[in-house]
Amino acid sequence: MVSFLLCLLPALLATSAQAQTVTCKKCSGSADSSCQPPAGTCTVDTAKGGCVTVADENTLATADGTKSTSVSKGCVGDFSPFIKGPVTATLGNGKYIRVNTSQCSTDDCNSAVLAVPKENTTKNGLQCPTCFALNTNPCDSQDTPCTGNENYCISFAGYLVTG
**Residue 7, pLDDT score:** 40
DSSP string, 53-121: EEEEEE--S-TT---EEEEEEEEES--TTSPPS-EEEEEETTEEEEEEEEEE-STTTT-S--PPPPP--
What residues pair up with 58 in beta bridges, in sequence order?
A: 68, 97
pLDDT computed for residue 30 by the predictor: 78
Q: Which amino acid is at 157?
A: A
* 134-158 per-position pLDDT tens digit: 777 777 788 999 999 899 898 877 7
Domain assignment present for residue 136? The answer is no
Q: Determine the residue type at 80.
A: S
Q: According to the model, what pLDDT value does residue 123 have?
A: 93
Instruction: Report the CATH number at residue 46.
Output: 2.10.60.10
Average pLDDT per consecutive 10 residues, the chain (163 residues; last block may be shorter): 38 51 89 68 90 91 82 91 85 86 93 88 92 76 90 79 62
CA dist., res. 119 & res. 139, Å (int):
25
Domain total in the chain: 1
